[in-house]
Amino acid sequence: MPEPSSSAMATLFSDLIGHHVNFSERIDAMPEHGEQIYCAYLIKPMESFRVIKADLSLLSSFAGALIGLSPATIKERVADPKPDESLRDALHEVMNIASRIVSVDHRAVFEGMYGDPSKLPPAARSTLLDPCNSSHFKVIIEGFEGGGFSLLAPF
């Protein structure tokens, strides 16, 4: 299955949040920077799962930029033990739109976002544990915190 290009991903996210985003492909995954988020996508019609694994700080930057928050406000809201509903909703919107780059040839349906990989659907957990294909990126967002972003596929 063809993989999305780093330039296509950068364009999608730059257009979405209104800030320049750069995806630089890497051979290996970036070292984890804080809490990780796992997003599961059901690929139609194959009924298989792809998984995005990314730093919470990176995904929060996407979500916060989407709703016009400053980097300092994003960090405050992420650090607050009480989940921020507007940031969470924006993050779900960002990851839903990301389904356009999760699969180039087939339809990807955003199934959910998880802080704990053991909560992923079983087929998505299998993809996470033993991906057949994986793409890893270092992401830089102009004026915001970047981080690691990996796309894992079962075939």
The pLDDT value recorded for residue 3 is 73
In a structure prediction context, what are the per-residue pLDDT tens digits for the chain, which is 155 residues long?
567 889 999 999 999 999 999 999 999 888 888 899 999 999 999 999 999 999 999 999 999 999 999 999 999 999 998 888 999 999 999 999 999 999 888 999 999 999 999 999 999 999 999 888 899 999 999 999 999 999 999 87
For 29, the token pair is 């995954």
Q: Provide CB contacts within 8 A for 124, sequence distance 6+.
A: 38, 40, 49, 51, 111
The pLDDT value recorded for residue 95 is 96
The pLDDT value recorded for residue 44 is 94
Long-range contacts of 114-122 (CB under 8 A, 24+ apart): 114/37, 114/38, 114/39, 114/40, 115/35, 115/36, 115/37, 115/38, 115/56, 117/36, 117/38, 120/38, 120/40, 120/51, 121/40, 121/49
The pLDDT value recorded for residue 83 is 81
For the chain, the structural domain boundaries read 6-153
Q: Candidates 3.40.1550.10, 3.40.190.10, 2.60.260.20, 3.40.50.460; correct CATH number of 6-153?
A: 3.40.1550.10
